[in-house]
Structure 1
C-alpha cells in the first residue's frame, strides 16, 4: 500500500465547493461554489484560480463540445462563455417548483447531461421534492426519476450498462441498469449502505477499475467501495467534515481531487477545521480515474 498524502490546493473557503472535474487540455480543475454562486477554474501549473459569478446558486458546470460550459444555475441549464464571462439560459426545469434548485450534474459518455434537483433548504424538505433529469443534445428534457430528496453523485460503468446514483438522504449508493440508447433507468438496487459515522453520501466518481469513490458529507472522508461486493475497500480522511465531491485528475488521472464546504459550520467548528471549504488533492492512492465527458448540445 503506497502512502496516501492529502494536501489543500485551493485554499479559498468555498461556502459549498462541489462538482470537481478535470480539464485535461488545460490541466485545470473546474469546480463550483453552490452558495457562493461562482464557477472556479484552478490551474495546476500556475496555482491560480479564475472565477465567474453566476448570479444564483450553481449546482454544477461541465464542458460543452461546442466550446465553453453548461451549468445548472438556479433551475436553469445555462451556457457559459468563459472568455466573455457571459451566461445565457438554454432551458429551464421545474418552473412549477420555485423552492427547488439544480444540484449535481454529470455528462454520460453519449454526451447527454444528467442533472438532479433538490429543495433549496433541504432541512425543511417535504417528502422527496426533487427529480433527476436528462438533457439531450437538442436541449429536450426527460425526467428519469422523481421522488428524490437530494439528487447527488452519479457515474457510469465503462460498458455503460450500469448507472450509479446517490440520493443523499437515503444514506445509500444505488445502481440502475442503464439503457445507453435512451438513458432509461431500471432495476434499482443498493450497492452500499452508509455506516455509522460516515455521514451522508454526496458526490462520487468511478476509477478505471470500476470501483466507486464517494465523498461523505459530515463524514470528513472519501470511501472507496467495490460495487460488486458492496464492501468498503479504503477510507481517506480529509481535514474538512463537510466533504462534498471528488474526481480524478492530474498526471494520468492518478490524483483524486476533493471539494468541501464551510457553510453551516459555527465559529468553533470553523476554528477546529481551518481548511473547511478548501479543495484537496489526494496522491499515492495507486489507482487512476477516467476522463470526463463533454455535453453534446
Structure 2
C-alpha cells in the first residue's frame, strides 16, 4: 500500500457574477471551502476512464494496455493486462449482475473481460473498419445500460491526432453503430438526472456539446454547444466528464492543472478545483455517499524534469469535502449485448 500524498486546497464555489483566481501548487485560491486532494494510487503512465463500483474504483492505463482496480478499503491496486497485451485498453465499464466481468476495449474491439480468470471471454465487435491506425478512447453506459464509446484517429507523438477520423458509437445488438461522425478525439459523456440530455466532449473541438436524448430508443438529436473553451478563454482542453446531483458537469481539464465545474444551463464555468499535476484526464463520483470525486491523471507527455516536479502525475486523486454529491456511474446491461464471437 502506498502512503498517499495529501494536499489541502480550496475549491471555489462561484456564481456567474463573481470572479476568482485559481492556481496550482501553493498559490492562493480565493473564495470557497477547504477540500482535500489526495493521491490514492501510485502513478500510471496515462490513467483514464475511472468508474466506481463500491468498494472498487476501476480505471485503465492506456499506455500499459491494462485494466486496474483500486480497493478503496485497503488501498491495494490490482492490475490486469488484457490479452494478448498489444492493444490499447481505454475504457472499463462493469457488466450489470455479473461480478468480475468488465466490458473493456482492446484497440478497436469491444470485449468482455473476466477478472477472475484474467481472460477475454467474448467479443462484441469492432469499430472504424478500414482504419487500423485508429483506436477506441472514452466510453460510458447510458441510463438504460447501453454502452456508448468513441474512437480517435492515429496519434503522432509531437504532432497530435489526425483530425476527423473517429466516431461516437452505440453498442447495439449487431455490434457498434456510429451515431456521431466525424470526430477528432471522442471523450467525455454524461447524462442528466431526467435522462433527457446527453453531454458529449469531442476534445478536438474544444467544446462540451449537448444532445436531446431519448432513453427508450437511444436516439440523439438537436446537437448544440454548451460551452466553448476557446471562446471563453479557458486555458485547457476538455477531456473526461461526470455530472453531479445538481446536473452540473465536472470536466477534466487537459493541460490545465484542474477540474472545472460547468453549469450547462448558463454555459459557464462556475467553479474549479486545482490539482498538483498538469494533465487531468477524467473524473468519476464515488464513495459511500457519492461525494468523493476521483480524478485520473497522466504523466505521458511530461519531460523527465517535469515528472520530477510532478511526482504524483499519473496517479488517481480523490477530492473530498466538496459539499456536492454525484450521480452514480451506470453498468452495462447484458440485455443490450449479443456476443459476435465467443473466445
* 2:92 paired with 1:57: no
Aligned to 2:197: 162
* 2:144 paired with 1:113: no
Aligned to 1:129: 165
Tell me the CA shift for residue 197 of structure 1: 5.3
Tell me the CA shift for residue 16 of structure 1: 1.1
Aligned to 1:273: 310
TM-score by length of 1: 0.95
Tell me the CA shift for residue 2 of structure 1: 3.3
Aligned to 1:99: 133
Aligned to 1:2: 33
Tell me the CA shift for residue 243 of structure 1: 0.4
* 2:112 paired with 1:79: yes
User: Structure 1 pair 177/280, CA: closer, same or farther in 2 (3 Å)?
Assistant: same
Contact 1:134/1:141 (8 A) holds in 2 = yes
* 2:72 paired with 1:37: no
Contact 1:243/1:258 (8 A) holds in 2 = yes
What does 1:1-297 align with in structure 2 at a 5 Å threshold? 1-11=32-42, 13-24=43-54, 27-54=55-82, 55=85, 56-67=87-98, 68-88=101-121, 89-121=123-155, 123-136=159-172, 138-194=173-229, 195-196=232-233, 198-296=235-333, 297=337
| Larger Rg computed on CA atoms | 2
Q: Helix, strand or coil for the counterpart of 1:2?
A: strand
Contact 2:191/2:198 (8 A) holds in 1 = yes
Tell me the CA shift for residue 143 of structure 1: 1.1
| Larger mean Cα displacement after TM superposition, 163-172 or 139-148 | 139-148
Contact 1:17/1:277 (8 A) holds in 2 = yes
Deviation per CA, 1:162-208: give whole Å up to 9, x if none. Answer: 10000001111111111222222211111112244531100000001
TM-score by length of 2: 0.83
Q: Point out where structure 1 has 5 or more consecutive residues left out of the alignment.
A: none
The whole-number CA distance in structure 2 between the counterparts of 1:41 and 1:173 is 28
The whole-number CA distance in structure 1 between the counterparts of 2:302 and 2:271 is 27
Q: Helix, strand or coil for the counterpart of 2:307?
A: helix
| Larger mean Cα displacement after TM superposition, 66-75 or 191-200 | 191-200
Tell me the CA shift for residue 35 of structure 1: 1.2
Aligned length: 293
Q: Point out where structure 2 has 5 or more consecutive residues left out of the alignment.
A: 1-31, 338-343
Deviation per CA, 1:68-94: give whole Å up to 9, x if none. Answer: 110111000010101001113331112
User: Structure 1 pair 91/268, CA: closer, same or farther in 2 (3 Å)?
Assistant: same
User: Structure 1 pair 110/41, CA: closer, same or farther in 2 (3 Å)?
Assistant: same
Tell me the CA shift for residue 140 of structure 1: 3.0
Tell me the CA shift for residue 51 of structure 1: 0.9
